[in-house]
Structure 1
Amino acid sequence: MPPAMRPQPSISIRRFLHTTRVLCHENPLGLPRAGTIPRMQRGLPQKRKIKDVAKVIAVSSAKGGVGKSTVAANLALAFARLGYRSGILDTDVFGPSIPTLFNLSDAPRLSDQNQLVPLTNYGVQTMSMGYLVDPSAAVIWRGPMLLKAVQQLLHEVAWSGGLDILVLDLPPGTGDTQLSITQQIVLDGAVIVTTPHTLAVRDAVKGIDMFNKVSVPILGLVQNMSVFRCPHCHGDSAVFGSSDQVKKVCEEHEMEFLGDVPLHPNIGEDGSGGKPTVVAEPESERAKVFLDIAAKVGARIGLEQH
């Protein structure tokens, strides 16, 4: 068919094709390169610290189902056990886990300054979209509404008495929410959680790449659900594969291997019961792993010792 007779794409299709070309560009987010000023800088929000919070870390995974929220909750509890004023902010609007992990469900009240007052359990202040919506209802929001909700969670929470450290439980992936958070607030670093499974490790590398592009320091990598010890024969089984892949990634990217959390049924059961391992079994080897990771992270970000 001659070119003049070929059907022309509609406006919506042309927009889609243009967007696709933009997204396939080597630097689709307009992120700064060394010695350059990003073209879209004027439209980006100004990074600022979260009021009354000394240090902020993000716990992230590029793949769901690797136990990121369980690790984040136990880290926040470990910081509290080490004597810090600790808090955790659940930024996963579509699948919040913190209400279940901390056995909290009440709606937060508003302060005199019209800010959300966190709910507290086990000595940790918590905030989550799960406290504000019906837990049985799906949150069906488009991007702008999602980002507005995240912005309010970041800047409109009254952390009582201030916090030494706030743990952000990020949703899985490397999308709008993660980018919005890294653009809006000053992050002291990110902890990446993965399992030894090949697919999870590959996605963890994508998470590393994202934080590098947005200039957020990577504090290290936590390997979760690594080895299962049989309670009968006491033999160890690497259910999701060898940990060699994870340690190799740490070496290649010059990252610290923060810790190895075993695959143990009590960790899942403790979380499901609303009492994570650090408080449910404080003297267990599993709890000691989380405490050790918290101590390493605290040292990396300059958290003042108590």
Structure 2
Amino acid sequence: MAMLASLLARGRGSESPQLVRALTRAYAAQPGPKAALSNVGIEGVQHIIAVASGKGGVGKSTTAVNLAVALSQRLGLRVGLLDADVYGPSIPRMMSLSGKPRVDSDERMIPLVNHGVSCMSMGFLMAEDAAAVWRGPMVMSALQTFMLRVRWAPLDVLVIDMPPGTGDAQLSISQRLSLSGAVIVSTPQDIAMLDARRGCTMFRKVNVPILGIVENMSWFICGSCGHESHPFGSGGAEQAAADLDMELLGKIPLNIAIRETADQGAPIVATQPDSPAAAAYVSVAERVWQKLQASGQQGPPKIEFE
């Protein structure tokens, strides 16, 4: 407990005593190894989905942000966004949010809200340029806190921006939360698709349904001549979807406006809703919501180990 309090106190340097106590008590109350393997839902949250990638640098967080905003603003749903990348939190910048979350009378943190989306991130508890120099158990305790000691309800969908890769954090989230499904993000080139396939394999090993794959940076339209090019190749997502028996949810263009709006904390779905890029994200959000409604999933999936 003292270790977590000390780390948080060295973060922004101005955390309230109530917040530190809430986090340290959550750390102390973590279940043992056997209990930790039990999938649980979050009270008042209808669906929890993971946005994941097999590697970094493919636009996973940008996709998670615009998907969450599309579900909220264009589909009218109650949406939360959990930044599970403890080492590299980017949601505060992309959602233009800062400051410490308040703590309610039950010592649960209250998410910060922008663009109609309730957000929680380690970035709210640390200075933007601070590094979380934490070993695995500390990362797990932070994720446990964000999953179960945050006042998420009521939500229709909680979107989890997963850390890149297929390591301990990803596996722990998949095991501890009852996920309605996962969205895999990749770019078209072969090496990225190979990593995306590994991500699909991980989720299927723990019986998390794959909602589909999103091909990011799919094509580029030259602003001068209007020529369409595919700098990262083409056809990779279709082939991966066919090989892995999953759906291609959509293709997102390589567009400088997507990057600029993300850097400004003004997601393109919110600030340029009539743009082709925003329409691509909204199409993915509509299909994801259709699949969640059709799934009729009741209770957590069973976990199988090989």
Asked if Structure 1 and Structure 2 have the same fold, meaning a TM-score greater than 0.5 normalized by the shorter chain, the answer is yes
Counting only pairs closer than 5 Å after superposition, residues 1-306 of structure 1 correspond to structure 2 as: 42=34, 44-81=36-73, 82-159=75-152, 162-242=154-234, 244-302=235-293
Query: Alpha-carbon deviation of 1:45?
Result: 2.6
TM-score scaled by length of structure 1? 0.84
For 2:43 and 2:143, locate their aligned partners in 1 and report how far apart those are by CA, in whole Å: 15
CA contact (8 A) 1:182 1:214 kept: yes
Aligned CA RMSD, in angstroms, stands at 1.3
For 1:89 and 1:259, locate their aligned partners in 2 and report how far apart those are by CA, in whole Å: 22
CA contact (8 A) 1:56 1:186 kept: yes
Alpha-carbon displacement from aligned partner over 1:165-193 (angstroms, at most 9, x marks no partner) = 01000010000110110110100000000
How many positions carry a matched residue from both structures? 262
For 1:155 and 1:208, locate their aligned partners in 2 and report how far apart those are by CA, in whole Å: 25
Partner of 1:32: none
Query: Alpha-carbon deviation of 1:44?
Result: 4.7
For 1:164 and 1:198, locate their aligned partners in 2 and report how far apart those are by CA, in whole Å: 35
In structure 1, runs of 5+ residues without a counterpart are 1-40
Q: Secondary structure at the match of 1:302?
A: helix
Read off the aligned partner of 1:138 and give its amino acid letter. A
Which 4+ stretches in 1 moved above 4 angstroms? Answer: 41-44
- The alignment-based identity, stated in percent, is 46
Q: Secondary structure at the match of 1:177?
A: helix
Change (3 A) 1:186 1:43: closer
For 1:102 and 1:303, locate their aligned partners in 2 and report how far apart those are by CA, in whole Å: 30
CA contact (8 A) 1:164 1:303 kept: no
For 2:241 and 2:157, locate their aligned partners in 1 and report how far apart those are by CA, in whole Å: 25
In structure 2, runs of 5+ residues without a counterpart are 1-32, 296-306
For 1:43 and 1:132, locate their aligned partners in 2 and report how far apart those are by CA, in whole Å: 27
Alpha-carbon displacement from aligned partner over 1:197-234 (angstroms, at most 9, x marks no partner) = 11111100100110111110000000000111001110
TM-score scaled by length of structure 2? 0.84
Query: Alpha-carbon deviation of 1:84?
Result: 0.3
CA contact (8 A) 1:62 1:174 kept: yes
